[in-house]
């Protein structure tokens, strides 16, 4: 894991430096948007297709989905309770709810799992995301953003979900796997080539999203609970639930690490679209991403004791 975290740190730092110095006159938001569009609409569907096509259907898929849904919903509940107690502004509340509930389970989770556990773990990261987190992001997440934001004119949640290319790739891959159709070698090679670009490009996009501003230290009291929920409480809860469901071995390690991921970058788009506190969300991504470089190795070591 240390090697992949070093690799991730280098790319994230490169993105942060791009945001700071803006080489070639390109705004970081423009670069991030272009990278995200290419990954989300082309490279990630290729990764989903090749990983899930080769994964036999099993009860573990149901368990992974249940754990992912629990991760998001309990994270939302804990964050909502804290925001209510602190009487935070509505736009801040909406941003922090999303930051606490939705982790970077694919773009950081996938390379971390693959490096720590082997190539088989790619399918776990994808299932955790597409069978749990993504459907909730485009339904519950959008509803939360619309409730607490100022812009109510966004697309209907179900429509956004149905327009997600990775989700359709997952449907096709599961259908092909269930039908016993073998993945042709030439197609697998092409898909693997495309899939290889997902992690580095999105880690660069994470760096482009990091925010370091004057006065950011004053926001730490509102960000520490987000980091605590994402990086400490949720992996602990998912660990206990995984034990209760009979999930053991490396699969348990994989789902707990997924629950320990920092806040997802895509939430920035929802914050911008629905008028939430985008700056606070970006700060949450920054704080949790930096902190995860310490907490993820700690969780891996603890899980393997």
Q: What is the mean pLDDT of residues 78-90?
A: 92
Q: Is the pLDDT of residue 299 over 60?
A: yes
Per-residue pLDDT, 154 = 57
For Cα atoms 259, 76, 143, give the angle at the middle one, nearest 5 degrees.
120
Q: Is the pLDDT of residue 152 over 70?
A: no
Nearest in space to 77 (alpha carbons), one of 100, 55, 58, 56: 100
pLDDT tens, residue by residue, 25-53: 888 888 988 888 898 899 999 999 999 99
Q: How far apart are CA 53 and CA 126, in angstroms?
A: 12
pTM: predicted TM-score of the whole model, two decimal places? 0.88
Tell me how crowded residue 138 is: count the other CB atoms within 10 A of its CB: 22
| CATH number of the CATH domain containing 184 | 1.20.1530
Give Cα separations from 213 to 10, 21, 210, 290 (angstroms). 21, 14, 10, 15
The residue whose two tokens read 């997600």 is: 164
Full domain range(s) for residue 45: 2-209+217-303
Per-residue pLDDT, 221 = 83
Instruction: Report, in angstroms and rounded to the nearest whole number, the Rg of the chain calculated over CA atoms.
Output: 18
Per-residue pLDDT, 136 = 93
Mean pLDDT of the chain: 90
Domain count, the chain: 1
Q: What is the mean pLDDT of residues 260-268?
A: 90
């Amino acid at each position: 894991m240390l090697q992949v975290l070093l690799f991730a740190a280098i790319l994230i730092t490169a993105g942060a430096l791009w945001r700071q110095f803006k080489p070639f006159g390109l705004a970081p938001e423009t670069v991030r948007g272009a990278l995200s569009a290419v990954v989300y609409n082309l490279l990630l569907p290729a990764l989903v297709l090749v990983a899930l096509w080769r994964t036999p259907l099993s009860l573990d898929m149901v368990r992974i989905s249940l754990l992912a849904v629990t991760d998001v919903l309990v994270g939302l509940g804990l964050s909502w309770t804290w925001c209510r107690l602190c009487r935070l502004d509505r736009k801040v509340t909406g941003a922090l709810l999303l930051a606490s509930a939705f982790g970077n389970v694919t773009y950081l989770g996938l390379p971390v799992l693959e490096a720590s556990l082997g190539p088989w773990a790619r399918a776990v990261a994808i299932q955790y995301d597409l069978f749990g987190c993504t459907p909730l992001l485009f339904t519950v997440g959008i509803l939360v953003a619309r409730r607490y934001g100022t812009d109510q004119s966004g697309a209907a949640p179900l429509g956004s979900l149905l327009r997600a290319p990775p989700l359709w790739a997952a449907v096709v891959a599961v259908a092909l796997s269930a039908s016993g159709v073998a993945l042709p070698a030439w197609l697998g090679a092409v898909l693997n080539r495309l899939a290889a670009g997902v992690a580095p490009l999105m880690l660069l996009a994470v760096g482009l999203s990091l925010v370091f501003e004057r006065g950011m230290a004053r926001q730490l009291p509102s960000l520490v609970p987000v980091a605590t929920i994402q990086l400490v409480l949720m992996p602990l809860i998912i660990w206990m639930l995984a034990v209760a469901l009979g999930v053991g071995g490396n699969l348990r390690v994989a789902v707990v690490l997924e629950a320990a991921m920092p806040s997802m970058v895509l939430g920035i788009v929802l914050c911008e679209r629905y008028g939430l506190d985008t700056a606070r969300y970006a700060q949450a991504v920054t704080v949790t991403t930096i902190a995860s470089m310490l907490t993820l190795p700690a969780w891996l070591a603890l899980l393997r004791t």
